[in-house]
Structure 1
Amino acid sequence: MTLTIIPSFDAYVATLGRLTAHVDPTASSPNAIQIKKAADSLAELTSISADVLVDWVQENPRAVYALGLAAGLSHEKLKNFLKDHFNTQGWVLLAKNRPRDLIEVMDRELDLIRLVEVQRRRTYDFGDLLTARAGSRAIAARAGQSGRKVEDEIELIAQDVGLKCEPRTRFVGRAGRDAPCDLAIPSAKSPVIVVAAKGFDSTGSKLTDAVREIVEMAEVRLPTQFVIAVIDGIGWKSRTADLRRIYDLWATKQIDGMYTLATLDAFRDDIEHAARLRGLL
């Protein structure tokens, strides 16, 4: 059964909002301050060599991240690089316990010594700044935070209604098949209500993946199970074809509800109604 009365697609799109606040790119942060200090420290060295960098990382083990940035590695790529070569992502311990191995591998694989030497003496202009910012992945971490914001909101509502729930899991449906969900009520093994929470302020393949997950939920569901989607974020406004695919599942009653953060009052009423129908309350 469909719960809330279905609005037009345009009316639904109008309720989408931004999940993450705009960030002033000129504002400082603890992480930025640490990177700046590491860069200043590297710039003050009289020369760059393997021996010099070995001593430097021993004195500044947390600043290995800055060496990764100098070699073109993001935070995540640096962790993956270390995991691949040292079977650990912990650069602080590596800098303390195996500094020479760390520097030698980074130099051999990433040309670290040359890159640090070239970049620390270079004078950068405004165009360099904007180019670096365009390639930055700093905003990527906020994409995950925006998605988690939607997940956290629906979990809090379920708990406030008095329902047991299991977040970020897979639920069992028709013929023992399972599908992903961001919230299963009351549990993944005995799901009555399953919810997809998909919040994105940016665009990309992750939105298409979100659609695929919700389609899979609709295909696996039992007739006695409620499938609900909570979707928000301005990224969907640039991927309206993907959003419409989910909306069409709602319009054709293959899922039971579709909400945004602006319509969570209806979400709350509907999961409470569904829970009462199935004897959970």
Structure 2
Amino acid sequence: MVMETLQLERRDGGIATIRLNRPEKRNALSPHMLVELERAFEQLCGDEQVRVIVLEANGTAFCAGADLEYLQAMSRYSSLENLSDSLVLERTFRTIYRCPKATIAKVHGPAIAGGCGLATICDFIVASRQKALFGYSEVRIGFIPAIVGAYLLQKVGDSIARRLLLSAELITADEAHRIGLVSYVVEHDQLDIATAELAEKLAANSASSIALTKRLLDGMHGMALDGALHYAAALNVIARGTDDCRQRIAEFLHQSKSSQ
């Protein structure tokens, strides 16, 4: 697939990389980039050879939010055009969030507004201690963090979400880790190694189990306890019936007998 705003790379071991590639624009989001992101994730999410997807970026910034030309165009949109545009962002974020593969955002620089949203919807964020910054700056220019707000609320809870979304403050990688937004903080020169190690660790796990566990966590949000337990039991039945589960159990039992 030829992309104008992204670079796609598949590596051995079931790991794929999607790289934001508008460094001259600090990887700012444009309508075209959002469409390409959706297509890229759809392609990789449907590829049985891919187990882990790493989202990263070229240049000094991870993603600076919306492109300035995009913002100018939005200021002239009609209500219907604004709705249509919002649905593009909603669909792209949903595609990434619902991807059955494990997803990692490798954040080497500022991740602002929609760029911070992109990182938020990944399963893991690995961030540079020295150079990564995180912030949802929408309220400073009259927008609201409408789409990402739903995901951030699930990730960090109401109190932290209110702090970040209403203040529009920029926070460091260490602070983002402290409040539960970032999974791992590493020295900048260790970012590539740390991300690769995490990706390899995730790729070694059962692909079907990863997909079903993500479905489990997503589905249980908002459920009462009884409903969540029934839902979990139903997914457990599906997991135990997969070929991967049977094969891994057989391998585990064989290894256990061999070690006795």
Question: Fold match, TM over 0.5?
Answer: no
Query: Given the two structures, how large is their TM-score scaled by the length of structure 1?
Result: 0.28
- Higher-Rg member (1/2): 1
- Greater RCO (Cα-Cα under 8 Å, separation 6 or more): 1
